[in-house]
Structure 1
């Protein structure tokens, strides 16, 4: 009987669960990270039961005090789940019953594990979204900090991984910062849709006891309760959307990682990693590896996999609660655990890297990156761009045949290729002139880059304010 009473179900069964069923049904150990959120929602539900006349005010106070103590003891490791606890709900109801007796059993009235499970994970995701949002802010700040030092640093911009045009290195760094800013905005947008409480939906049809879910929703930091009780317990699109936002963030991290490999390679030598953020080789003593970026790129594949897992689990699922939905926690936790490791490491790598300005300057004009300057100069001087393109192509061939760069051309060389290549074109044939010419909004000209940094800092300040506004349960990682 002791084993039977440890479960939240089973009175109508004539036999105990098989060992195989028990092993399959028991929550993974990682799921018990939701304990603080379940305790918070249980306290809100206790207050709802006072309004429903199921608990007296003194009983609710007794329950809430015990819940707070259980939370403290769980954090310290003094209270842990037992092998007989099927899940977080079984664990906490057992411990609560040990503390307050039969009063603890009253707490189950008016709710189900279905709305509890949906609510616990949603509270956790909203809390974590704000923690990851802070990590994104720190990463953006590291990129902006480096960019601010390298507004005038000229480097090579690539398309198809081939030298294309000179750009400000700050502009290249800020391209990544812009993607992360949008990732943050996606988190904000996700949170707006996720701010609906499932608590009060019970198993499926709503509760005949918990009649004021809007009050519990407000206590837990939501904007309102869910509009439809079936949707509240049967939907996990908020989990799938969260995983998409994180997968997109992971892809953006991976693209930054790929550039860090190139920039730190011996062939490029554009940046040098701080020793504290690099690793070596067990056999090759000279190696200095960008392992943080490699691990980040690898983790991105897991984030995409978690998103796919959730979408496949939802596809074709009857619209109510099904145990398939338990995959939501595994997918979410794996994603969150990966990001909470890689983002601070990538931030430290960016913040501490040293930039080889001279090396970048040297590379900025290699590969005929000034060719567009020639074509643009001709177009500005009345030559149709189709002809300007052909003339510039011929000029590049001329330079290739003589193993010189466009910046090395003499006035005689220019006249030899085409009479319209006036000597005054030489003023445009420098990396500095090339980036300064791109002075339209969003361009790589130093003045525009400085403005971009200013706007990004303003945006980060607004994002920081949004993080402070969250009023739901928050717990340290």
Structure 2
């Protein structure tokens, strides 16, 4: 007989049991379910809703059950439907009828909302740690490459010279935003739903704040209907993780490009590359490709949960059981991607010469040549046209701005002097960009200093 079976004249069909059951995936919530139940029953005892000695007996039984689950001695039963009913059924078998008092003043509706919030809060902390490590690795690599010149790109065409450090720190900023979003989502999740009941609280004199304090929640859900209906915290987390995966995917795309023979900006470590079953020369960036591919998977988890929630009337509906697999999958995916991506990044070799050579081609210093003319008194639009003509001349004659003779410069415009060559040197182009947020060594070192301060205060 099921714990809710009093109203029913016969057992549910086996197909119904299988279809209705969530224990195959919500079993991972056992710890949160037990800890939530302990806080609940201890509050029931203090409020004289049940006897204090009964609360202690239930607590001890739950702690013993928790230990046995973690040591692999417990097997869950699909007929008990979910983790909540499994825990309660197992506890009744262990300590007898006193365990039946554990569910006083609560519903599975507020119980599952509690378990999911506890789980999400715990996983946010774990993901933040992984993200913090990735950001630390980025700053470590950037520190080594404040003078490593490479081309910056727009439209995947060489645009202006920058440093590898400057490029890497763009990703640091992306991940810093991800980190801050996780902090905000944690704060929004830290609201206790337990005590909301099925939707309308209870007539028992519960002390919800005591339970919130015991479980580490910042506050209590202010509306019982919202308490059991809300899955915004899951959606917020999946949104955060989707953006984070997008950032990892963009970074992976560049790793894939940079490691190709055409770029050869980096060399991936053998430990984070794979080969071909037919082509013996191949060294494939499969880790980066898989991270890029898994981005779409996390997007799917977000869209799936949004689609589930979009038409649900208040309060709880069984559709909301679909929140778990989506949330679990997205969390599992990001926790798999972050460590291996970080290790791949940390072990790669940077090919400085190839980067510099690429920056030397493609007229990446053309803007600086135009700025040179502006500083000589030309309007920028006129300077732009002059340099455009010079670039066309270079393309036609298979040369570049650095190797063009001063006579050729003056043939286009007499304002050019010998100092043009210093103005368009790549190191000059980079280090004259001292504006806050720019690629000069001075500006990047300032950025790194702020980044280290952020990482230090975020520990």
CA-CA distance at 1:360 after TM superposition = 0.8
CA-CA distance at 1:421 after TM superposition = 2.3
What is residue 43 of structure 1 aligned with on the other side? 38
1:11 aligned residue (6, 10, 17) = 6
Say which SS state the counterpart of residue 30 (structure 2) adopts.
helix
Q: Does 1:69 align with 2:64?
A: yes
4+ long deviations beyond 4 Å: none
Q: Does 1:85 align with 2:80?
A: yes
Say which SS state the counterpart of residue 160 (structure 2) adopts.
strand
Q: Does 1:432 align with 2:432?
A: no
Alignment of 1:247-262 (within 5 A): 247-262=242-257
What is residue 190 of structure 1 aligned with on the other side? 185
For structure 1, list consecutive stretches of 5 or more residues without a partner in the other structure.
465-477
Distance (whole Å) between structure 1 residues aligned to residue 439 and residue 420 of structure 2: 21
For structure 2, list consecutive stretches of 5 or more residues without a partner in the other structure.
none
What is residue 95 of structure 1 aligned with on the other side? 90
The alignment yields a C-alpha RMSD, in angstroms, of 1.0
What is residue 116 of structure 1 aligned with on the other side? 111
Is 439-448 or 21-30 further displaced after alignment? Answer: 21-30
Post-superposition Cα deviations, 1:2-33, rounded to whole Å, max 9, x if no partner, equal: xx1xx231211112111221111111522111
Alignment of 1:241-252 (within 5 A): 241-252=236-247
Q: Does 1:57 align with 2:52?
A: yes
Distance (whole Å) between structure 1 residues aligned to residue 423 and residue 453 of structure 2: 34
Distance (whole Å) between structure 2 residues aligned to residue 336 and residue 25 of structure 1: 24
Say which SS state the counterpart of residue 150 (structure 2) adopts.
strand
Distance (whole Å) between structure 1 residues aligned to residue 16 and residue 78 of structure 2: 14
Say which SS state the counterpart of residue 84 (structure 1) adopts.
helix
TM-score, normalisation: structure 1:
0.95
CA-CA distance at 1:185 after TM superposition = 0.2
1:388 aligned residue (379, 383, 389) = 383
Matched length: 459
Kindly indicate whether the alpha-carbon contact (under 8 Å) linking 2:23 and 2:77 is maintained by their aligned counterparts in 1.
no
CA-CA distance at 1:435 after TM superposition = 0.7
What is residue 264 of structure 1 aligned with on the other side? 259
Distance (whole Å) between structure 2 residues aligned to residue 326 and residue 39 of structure 1: 19
CA-CA distance at 1:54 after TM superposition = 3.0
Is 148-157 or 455-464 further displaced after alignment? Answer: 455-464
Q: Does 1:420 align with 2:415?
A: yes
What is residue 274 of structure 2 aligned with on the other side? 279
Say which SS state the counterpart of residue 158 (structure 1) adopts.
strand
Kindly indicate whether the alpha-carbon contact (under 8 Å) linking 2:26 and 2:83 is maintained by their aligned counterparts in 1.
yes
CA-CA distance at 1:430 after TM superposition = 1.5
Say which SS state the counterpart of residue 360 (structure 2) adopts.
coil
Q: Does 1:225 align with 2:220?
A: yes
Q: Does 1:357 align with 2:352?
A: yes
What is residue 342 of structure 2 aligned with on the other side? 347
Kindly indicate whether the alpha-carbon contact (under 8 Å) linking 2:435 and 2:443 is maintained by their aligned counterparts in 1.
yes
TM-score, normalisation: structure 2:
0.98
Post-superposition Cα deviations, 1:123-142, rounded to whole Å, max 9, x if no partner, equal: 00000001000110011111
Distance (whole Å) between structure 1 residues aligned to residue 53 and residue 416 of structure 2: 92
CA-CA distance at 1:424 after TM superposition = 1.3
Distance (whole Å) between structure 1 residues aligned to residue 311 and residue 333 of structure 2: 29
Kindly indicate whether the alpha-carbon contact (under 8 Å) linking 1:201 and 1:207 is maintained by their aligned counterparts in 2.
yes
